[in-house]
Structure 1
Amino acid sequence: MRYDLVIFDNDGVLVDSEPISNKLLAAYLTELGHPTSYEDSLRDYMGAAMHRVHDLVLERTGQRLPEDFDDVFHGRVFAAFERELEPVAGVVEVLEKLAADGIPYCVASSGSHERIRVGHRKTGLDRWFDDERIFSSQDVGRGKPAPDLFLHAAERMGVRPERCAVVEDSPLGVRAAVAAGMDVYGFTAMTPAERLEGATRLYGEMPGLLALLC
């Protein structure tokens, strides 16, 4: 292994949550009078913290989303997670290999701590991620594409940025990792390769990640 720390994004990389959450986000925004398709949601919000949704709607329409927007949306998402959420195919094998080889890893997600933990409990990934391995955009002032979250995770884990590998599936996440001075491996299962410009390498199936990291 040529890295001292592997930093995973959560949604779409560890848990297969992007289709669920973006369908619900598109439906809720449309319900509130801001017509949004599933494809629009993936393009504009995939990999982003919730403040980006508020910021873009305000910028485009001059209207603010309701004060309870986040609470209502997360309630719908968590209910859907309980029904539908699964781990990303092959990610358990990747985590098993990292753990067996003694390679430190963590998760750094735009999602809230609650969202991360709800998803991990439902999918069984909580056995791999204790509190010391979980970092959220809630922990820093700016979410992706700012580098703050990845730099915070590296600092807390005691690893220099240049010794970190980031695993991402969103353009915002790739930009954040590059800005942090880290190598980044772009997962193209849901995102067209051309949208992950700047990634160190690209891969389409989770088992292929280990070969890239070594």
Structure 2
Amino acid sequence: MRYELVIFDNDGVLVDSEPLANAILAGYLTELGHPTTYEDSLRDYMGAAVHRVHDLIGERTGQRLPADFDSILHARTFAAFERELETVPGVTDVLDKLLADAVPYCVASSGSHERIRVGHRKTGLDRWFRDENIFSAEDVGRGKPAPDLFLHAAARMGVAPERCVVVEDSRLGVQAAIAAGMDVYGFTAMTPVDRLPGVRGHFTEMADLLDLLAARD
């Protein structure tokens, strides 16, 4: 069975943003009196929308983050993106191959539309992604690990969930894809495969994704 839609996560899969974003998040939380290491941030928040940060801090401390937390975090993150963000090595070759083979694709990210577009503009990925194939957790009521975002993307792209494959690098994203009834391949450049239970296959170099997809033709 050939997949009719490839759904990419954004952070860590298309753009190499996870090291930047999680270092900034960990530093900001620590600054606010919630000591958080870079490793803590990867474990607890990688692949999640920002509301998860509010939820976990509230559960663990009984405190609320400042009202301007989101805007300050976004400003710091976007500034780092403008300075340092790059594409994940090899991803443009994958996108070119999908285009050449007329395989539909899209991005479904826990990040905001603004965050997605800032990253794509900086890295040149806006060549491959336009409004019609960009989906954000802002578009749905619940972000990952709920299946809503992936189901929304599939519906907007006109493809049944069982004909979709998701490319993810986070535990929450994998859970969301499985809950949506989609196959999912785990990108393990940053995340050990044992933290991605349920993936159909996994790979550490983006070029290897093409072999996994070809095996399903």
> By the TM > 0.5 criterion, same fold?
yes
Secondary structure of 2:73's aligned partner: helix
Alignment partner, residue 35 of structure 1 = 35
Alignment partner, residue 91 of structure 1 = 91
Deviations 1:151-173 (Å, cap 9, x if unpaired)? 00000000000000000000000
TM-score normalised by the chain length of structure 1:
0.99
Alignment partner, residue 190 of structure 1 = 190
Runs of 4 or more above 6 Å deviation: none
Deviations 1:95-114 (Å, cap 9, x if unpaired)? 00000110000000000000
| 1:25-174 → structure 2 map (5 Å cutoff) | 25-174=25-174
Secondary structure of 2:129's aligned partner: coil
Letter in 2 for 1:124: G
Letter in 1 for 2:50: M
1:2 Cα offset (Å)? 1.2
Secondary structure of 2:159's aligned partner: coil
How many Å separate the matches in 2 of 1:40 and 1:46? Answer: 10
Structure 1, unaligned runs of 5 or more:
none
Letter in 2 for 1:114: E
TM-score normalised by the chain length of structure 2:
0.98
Letter in 1 for 2:150: F
Deviations 1:67-100 (Å, cap 9, x if unpaired)? 1100000000000001100000000000000001
Secondary structure of 2:177's aligned partner: helix
Identity among equivalent positions (%) equals 78
